[in-house]
Chain A
Amino acid sequence: MPALKVHNIVFRHDDLFELQLERSDVSFEPGACMALFNEDGDSRPYSISAGTQENVLRFLVRRVPNGRVSDWLALRKPGDTVEASDPFGWFRPGRSAPAGERCVFIATGTGVAPFLSHLRSNPFKPPEMCLYGIRRLADAFALEELECLSGFRLAVSKTSGHGHFHGRVTDLCEQIPLGEDIHYYLCGLDTMIEETSQWLEASGIDYTHIHREIFFYEDGQD
């Protein structure tokens, strides 16, 4: 199990940060996660948001109050080490794209991480649409990169402002393109994933085209 050195830790605000670990010789596919361990050996999976060509591993972490691992990670400093598993995972945004199929990405919060990894690794295979839901603008990661995508829509649920939709990302369901050749990748909060999956299935999308990864639960349990 590799022990990786903390390269940097960049806070967006007290409860949200990007953890950068030195890459060492870790190889991964976009969408993969790594289990990160705290000093007591508790492990939690975190998705890599870095591109496969970068020399740091990036993780977007929401700090959960009293969370055994996320809270511990938030206290790391550059030069500390973090035990990590080899990369693994079953959620591979855009994996179907090489076959000429189209894809749609829908994320809430840190659930944007696997999509960023795909976009940074395969910039020439953008999704048909990318919906990103957050509570406040301060929760947004990599907006400049995402805004370059033609099908990008940002939904901010708690605050209103220019240039984004005020509401939940699920309120934008009607705008999602539907098609038999489209694969839908949903990542983040359970309620978004449940509601969107149900909407897609009710709209005639085959369940094998709906790919899902739950990071967090609406009521705080994860």
Chain B
Amino acid sequence: MKMDKTDAWLTTSQNEPRGYIQPQTLEELWFHTGTNCNLRCPFCLEGSKPGDNRIEFLTLDDARRFIDEALELGVKKFSFTGGEPFVNPEFVAILEAALDHRPCLVLTNATEPLMNQMADVLRLRDKPHALKFRVSLDHPDPAKHDESRGKGNFKKALDTLGRLHQAGFGVSIARLMLSGEDSSAVDQSYVPFFRIAGVPDDITIIKFPEFHLPGSFHEVPEITETCMTRYLNAEQRAGFMCNFSKMIVRKNGQCGVYACTLVDDVNGYDLGPTLKAAMEKRVMLGHHRCYSCFACGASCSERA
């Protein structure tokens, strides 16, 4: 589907008004640090790999500008995703700037780029706001995790998770959600590993469904305005990430404000160069990943 601001943006293929979210608040601002990653996981929803620059490295100057604007809009938290954020050469400096103002969350594969910068990361404990890490541990079976992330990477990620926790940072993990799984049983099978790492048994586990590669097209049911009111209540609609968050993405030397963390591969979701302009725009739920939010309540956020 061509998601530019034409009829296809506003209506479904059956010509019904497309479901949408009218953003209400900016609770959380996400920054995309760039699609350069030390790993090249075949399922990566960002299509990240070594040297990739579909999304360029966020710079400290970019980050400062949007941190200031977000503060004016009452933001409560800054979050960072990649690629692997610690591959970005300015990332620690960006985190330092953000932690002066608000708590931060970093999504990381917790391998060499972070491991080699632990001394700098430990210094961030002295900042006025808390820093939390979400480490990817795709499967509770190390061999399965390593099958796509590369040999030895489950152990590295688990060791780093433990070290971050012992250093006093908040930690959670992200895992893949398989269709038909017994979710609480899968969550439970992480516990022996948590104990090895010395983290509490009950740390938050964020589950992600299969999101498919960027730019790919997936046949999913279309979301109409009627779906949004018939199947969801106001609280569920308010829980959509695009209602309370935005993401900064740098492409071709310029930053744009995207509707959420999942749709940066379609230019229609670039809502403008400033947060103020972006907050006024309706987000039409036409990306195949919007259906995951609609059907499973998928969200990258960890709201209190």
Contact = CB atoms under 8 A, between A and B. Distances in A.
Q: Do A and B bind each other?
A: yes
A207 B162 CA distance: 13
Interface string A55-73: 0000000000000000000
Given A85-B36, A208-B122, A35 B50 contact: yes
Given A43-B52, A85-B50, A88-B87, A213 B112 contact: yes
B118 A212 contact: no
Contacts of B112: 90-91, 212-214
A34 B119 contact: no
B116 A91 contact: yes
Nearest to A36: B51
Contacts of A217: 151-152
Contact of B51 (A85, A208, A214, A222): A85
Interface residues of A, number: 28
A177 to B, nearest CB: 20
A9 to B, nearest CB: 20
A182 B13 CA distance: 64
A88 B38 CA distance: 10
B118 A43 contact: no
B86 interface: yes
Contacts of B38: 45, 90
Contacts of A209: 119
Given A207-B163, A213-B112, A1 B152 contact: no
A1 B50 CA distance: 13
B52 to A, nearest CB: 7
Contacts of A213: 112, 116
Given A212-B115, A213-B112, A190 B151 contact: yes
A152 B118 CA distance: 28
A211 interface: yes
A144 B38 CA distance: 32
B50 A90 contact: no
Contacts of B51: 1, 34-37, 43, 45, 84-86, 88
A44 interface: yes
Interface in A171-208: 190, 194, 207-208
Contacts of A36: 51
Contact of A90 (B86, B122, B150): B86
Contacts of B87: 88, 90
Nearest to B153: A214
Contacts of B89: 88
Given A35-B49, A86-B51, 9 more contacts: A1-B53, A35-B50, A43-B50, A44-B50, A45-B38, A45-B51, A86-B53, A90-B117, A207-B163
Interface of A: 1, 33-37, 43-45, 84-86, 88, 90-91, 190, 194, 207-209, 211-214, 217, 219, 221-222
15 contacts: A35-B36, A35-B49, A35-B50, A43-B40, A43-B49, A43-B52, A45-B50, A86-B53, A88-B87, A90-B117, A91-B112, A194-B152, A207-B118, A212-B112, A222-B150
